[in-house]
Structures are given as structure tokens and as C-alpha cells.
Amino acid sequence: MLQKKHLLCAFFLVAFAWSSLCRAEDLRVSAAASLTDALKEIDAAFEKETGHKVLLNLGASSLLARQIEAGAPADVFFPADEAKMTALEKKGLIDPSTLKAHLSNSLVVVVPADSTLPLISMKDLTLTGVRKIATGDPRAVPVGVYAREHLEKLGLWTAVQPKIAAMDNVRSALAVVESGNAEAGIVYKTDAILSKKVKIAFAVPAAEGPRIVYPAAMIKNAANPAGAAAYLKFLNSPAAQKTFVRLGFIVLPEPAAPAAAPVK
């Protein structure tokens, strides 16, 4: 009887050890702040399906890229800017075989919900009533880089630049407008539609604005390559893409328009 108890104990110990060894590893994902709400929802579904625990590191794409370059642990990089991804790829830090452009976005100008400023175009940002415009740092943070690119294209950057409140990510820029500490802000459409404290004064049509791309790839020295591969595959799943679209993102490649029916 005693021997049987010992055998049972040994069995449960081995089973416990095996389950511990087989438990899915943590997956570290460094992603743009503008992906916060979408990825929290998508990651919950991914964790339920695969057992991998996703550890999200959210922030400005420029900061995340510097962290990865400095050796910070990461398995997947999902920025809001192709340039940041390209820079890491050139330094041999990205697995190029896993690199894919997943999403696009568009810029909008937001104002506090109770604002009465008559803003209907980018040119209106030069009005004297607009003293401060919050956006990402135009030197590094993707949303600020995109904003500057568009304003330069319109010939308005010189007039608008002194009003820019350069923030470390798009969510910080949105928060400045929400608090009433800036008359306007240039942010992504996806962030603006989630806030009840701001309203969209006007949107920059995607066809006229800067090319905004969110690529994703596995880090070359990923500690959890299997999890990273599964995660990147999951981003292409119908469930994940449905979430992205519902939250205002444009899934790439965009589906082709249906061919016109032949005239009979």
C-alpha cells in the first residue's frame, strides 16, 4: 500500500513537472501606443486560443525601437512607422522573412468636445485662436512625423511649427487636448474615435494624407520564436482583422473593389 502511494506521488510529481515544461512561454510584444485598445482585445483572444501570455510594451515606436536596439527583451515589434522597422532590419535585429505590413491609419484634427473653434482645414491651424497644437514629436514619434510631412506638403509647417506641443506618443497628445491644455491636436483617427472628451474637427482623407503603415515582424533573437510566429499569424486571422476594422484601422492589403457587372 505504501509502495502504491509512493508510485502515485511520483506520478503526480512527474505530471506536474511535465505540465510546467510544456506551459506556453510569455510572449513580449513591443507595439505602438495607438494599437493599445485593439491589441488588448486581440491578445486576450490569442492567449485563450494558444495559452501564450502576452506581455505588451506600449509606447512611441521610436522609443520601442531604441529599446530593442539596446537589447531590451522583445519577441515581436509592431510599430506605426515603416522607417523604424527598416532601421532595425538594416542592423540585423529583425527576421525579414516574418516582416509584413498589416495596417494603415489616417490623421485627424481634434479639439476639446466643447470647443467652438471653426476648424475645417489644416490652414485653420494658423488662426490666432489656435495657440497650441498637440501631436507626437515631429522629429521622432510617427504621428508627429506624419503630421509634419502633411503640413510641409501643404506649405503650412513654418506657420504651425511654433504652436506644436511635441508629445512622446499619440495617446499623450490626445490627453493634452482632452484636458483642454491645447486648442487642437493632430492624432490618428483610431485614437480620436475612442475619446468622449474630444471631437474630430476634420479628417485628412487617407488618399491625400501621408502613407501610414504599421508593419510587424519577429525580433531576430526572440526568446519565444514559436510564440512570435503564432502571434504574427493570428494578426491575420478573421477575428483579429475584424477587431482592427471595428476600431477604425485599415487592414492591408485593402480588399479590391468588386468588378462592375458587365452591361448587357
What is residue 254's predicted lDDT score, i.e. its pLDDT? 57
234-250 confidence digits (pLDDT tens): 999 999 999 999 999 99
- Residue 104, strand partner residues: 250
Q: What is the pTM of this model?
A: 0.83
Cβ–Cβ under 8 Å, residues 249 and 194: no
The secondary element (H helix, E strand) that includes residue 186 is strand 184-188
d(C-alpha 240, C-alpha 1), whole Å: 54
Under DSSP, is residue 42 helix (H, G, I), strand (E, B) or coil? helix
Cβ–Cβ under 8 Å, residues 197 and 178: yes
Count other C-beta atoms under 10 Å from residue 73's C-beta: 16
Write down the residue that cell numbers 487617407 correspond to.
206
Helix, strand, coil percentages (3-state) for the chain, rounded to 5, are 45, 20, 35
24-40 confidence digits (pLDDT tens): 589 999 999 999 999 99
Stretches in the chain below the pLDDT threshold 50: 2-23, 255-264
What is residue 259's predicted lDDT score, i.e. its pLDDT? 47
In the chain, the domains with their CATH numbers are: 10-104+212-251 (3.40.190.10), 107-203 (3.40.190.10)
What is residue 257's predicted lDDT score, i.e. its pLDDT? 46
DSSP string computed for 109-135: EEEETT------SGGGGGSTT---EEE
What is residue 24's predicted lDDT score, i.e. its pLDDT? 53
What is residue 225's predicted lDDT score, i.e. its pLDDT? 97
d(C-alpha 248, C-alpha 38), whole Å: 10
